Amino acid sequence: MSAPQHCHPVVLRAAFACLSVLLMSPMATTAQSAPGQAGVVQSATDDPYLWLEDVTGDKALAWVRERNAVAEKEFAADARYEPLRKDLLSILDSRDRIPYVTRMGEHYYNFWRDAANPRGLWRRTSLAEYAKAQPAWEVVLDLDALAKVENENWVWKGADCLRPERSGQPYRRCILALSRGGADATVQREFDLADKSFVKDGFALPEAKQDLNWKDIDTLWVASDFGPGSMTTSGYPRIVKEWRRGTPLAAARTVFEGQAGDVSVAAFSERESGQRRDWVRRAYAFFDSEHFVERAGKLVKLDIPSDATPASFRNFLLVTTRTPWTVGGRTYPGGALLAVDFERFMAGERRFDVLFEPTTRHVLEEFATTRDAILVTSLDNVNARLTVLRHADGQWRRSEVPQPAGTHTNVVGTYWDSNAYFTAVQGFTTPTTLQLRQAEEPTQAQTLKALPAFFDASGLSVTQHEATSKDGTRIPYFVVMRSGLKLDGRNPTLIYGYGGFQASLTPWYSGGFGKGWLEPGGVLVVANLRGGGEFGPAWHLAAQKANKQRSWDDLAAVAEDVIKRGISSPRHLGIMGGSQGGLLVTATMVQRPELFGAVVSQVPLVDMLRYHKLLAGASWVAEYGDPDKAEERVWIEKYSPYQNVKKGARYPRIFLYTSTRDDRVHPGHARKMVARMSEQGHDVLYFENIEGGHGAAANNAQAARMWAQTFSFLWRELGGKPQ
């Protein structure tokens, strides 16, 4: 079951060599006050619920269990819940799901969970086998067996494998990241792909928020917790070291040190055109970094803007801009993709080839590289386009890849030694297909895998509309509903939004949303709010810091437009979001409660006067502002839900869902909001998964429970009949 990802607080949105993300009008300079809000802001020192920030404290967990018991009793009494949970679990465990793969040498690797393997199998096969309906897989690591032997609740967090020196050579060594219960902090261990076992006396690091990358077979770049003072205030590494095999970590050479107030540092190596380049990245704010490349044994800072991002492709340096950059006698717009010969740039050349130049409604979404091509995915009024760029005879040549109407295409696999690449094509009512393409033949595609129809989409239509926000800005949104649906304002309707960190919401295929909401007759609205990236960096900048209120205004405008069109009415209209989206829907509920009949807030930020002091919160100051600065606190305290929720106000019922093991967005946010609203006499439902991390679920069973709770709650509150 695919679903929108809660993506904002990932510190490094992408590795340096892979600029595609993880998640407009000029930015105004004045903050907007929350409509109709004049609530008394309570200082953190007066907060009676600070004790709920003690994540694993006995008193706090006892409170959590009491609230969970109330929620479980309510869901157990709902006739929708158990059948829906079983349906969703069957989708999540279905063997008909697409097993996405990563090619390493001759093998195609996949991580797979199902009913028999709840923690998952890391496995591999050949391309010929993969193309079959039922491939034969070779198990490389059984995570359930490992967890049983080691008595740990391991959750897979990925593998970083050392690329061989030449094409055709086998991959041999990897660093595996394993998490206890789904947290961002991981244990990392060296693994041998040939022996299918962990390397005895190999590289290994204890649990921490950390970043490891290969330099060569005997050397790692390590950014980790090296003891007191080695982590930033955001809880990420500020020191990166070069660690040689067979030596203690304490003896590793320090390569770079950032500042305590930075977000993080990291280092990695890449090979382009037969040479290796060693990089260091210092992220001193969420969207601002310094990039250094090793030259003759010294780190040389790359002369690009702090909010631009570099990458290498063959002999080229690629740069994506975030804001306009004037250099070499020309101004390049924000959201552009630029290219220049790497060595000439280092020698002082500042004239770039423009590979992508945005317009108001056609913007860069992401890009990826093959051996000889750059694959550019762009959004044209939130509809995907895919362009292949190849450099030959001193020129860049472009080819458009045809796109099926009503779908979105993502590049989901590219390879350094091949021009083959995978794309995933999907739409709200179109099951995902996985296609194998060649950069040399942009109009040709081989469909390797396709999802079955996990829900009945017959009669569903997808339309795109625009609402007008408070300041006159047009806000697009998608509507998925039955053709010919009577527009009498009585249709249960769910608006899903995010509105932050330049993350875009594009059409997706979700068996869960389909089975839980669309098939029973619900209307789904996906809102493309400012703060996201649907119209490039300027769309994000327009609702950042002092202008964050615009995201809430945009959501309210979409709700008003949905009501005006007769699609729904406040009694039947709900909103849902997770992480930054959880803040979005909770803040909008507090400001405009008359618009909604129900709210689902998942792993949310809520106490915005303390968010920067909790877990990774300090890394998001670039998005929201610093509550410790009086001039910035002014705009934050106007919308912070925890401080502005009022006794006596009439709010729609809200369901808050979080995870004890979320070490990104602190569970104290949701806990305290529930405690305060309950104290004020509001009807609040709460569930906290004891494990699961920021994704809120550590396995398919937990995910099925979460989404069954979510959709049964929405049907109950928005007037749907039991199915």
Catalytic positions are 579, 694
CA atoms of 589 and 655, how far apart (whole Å): 12
Coil, strand, or helix at residue 610?
coil
Query: Nearest-5° angle of CA 706, CA 708, CA 714?
Result: 105
Q: How many residues does the structure list for the chain?
A: 723
CA atoms of 709 and 693, how far apart (whole Å): 18
Coil, strand, or helix at residue 447?
strand
Measure Cα distances from 112 to 121, 154, 187 in Å: 5, 14, 20
Residue in 615, 20, 2 with CA at minimum distance from that of residue 375: 20
CA 317 and chain centroid, separation = 26
- Can you say whether residue 651 is alpha, beta or left, with left for phi > 0 and alpha for psi between -120 and 50 degrees? beta
CA atoms of 284 and 260, how far apart (whole Å): 9
Coil, strand, or helix at residue 229?
coil
The β-bridge partners of 245 are none
H-assigned helices in 113-218: 127-130, 143-150
Residue that has been written with the tokens 């967990």 in this structure: 61
Residue that has been written with the tokens 């056609």 in this structure: 362
CA atoms of 562 and 560, how far apart (whole Å): 5
CA atoms of 428 and 383, how far apart (whole Å): 13
CA atoms of 1 and 487, how far apart (whole Å): 30
CA atoms of 461 and 378, how far apart (whole Å): 24
H/E stretch holding 239 reads strand 239-244
Which residues does 566 contact at the CB level (< 8 Å), separation at least 6? Answer: 487, 488, 489
How are strands ordered across the β-sheet holding 433-438?
Answer: 408-414, 420-426, 433-438, 441-450
Give yes or no for a contact between 615 and 235, defined as CB atoms under 8 angstroms apart.
yes
Which residues does 575 contact at the CB level (< 8 Å), separation at least 6? Answer: 494, 495, 496, 497, 555, 559, 585, 588, 589, 596, 598, 599, 600
Residue 144 CB neighbours (<10 A): 16
Which residues does 520 contact at the CB level (< 8 Å), separation at least 6? Answer: 715, 720, 723
Residue in 584, 550, 561, 575 with CA at minimum distance from that of residue 470: 550
Residue in 390, 426, 420, 434 with CA at minimum distance from that of residue 408: 426
H/E stretch holding 706 reads helix 700-718
Residue in 276, 278, 340 with CA at minimum distance from that of residue 308: 340
Query: Count of alpha carbons within 13 Å of 316, Cβ hemisphere only?
Result: 24
CA atoms of 677 and 597, how far apart (whole Å): 17
Task: Provide φ and ψ at 608, rounded to 5°.
Answer: -80, -5
CA atoms of 53 and 669, how far apart (whole Å): 8
H-assigned helices in 311-421: 342-346
Distance separating the N- and C-terminal Cα atoms of the chain: 20
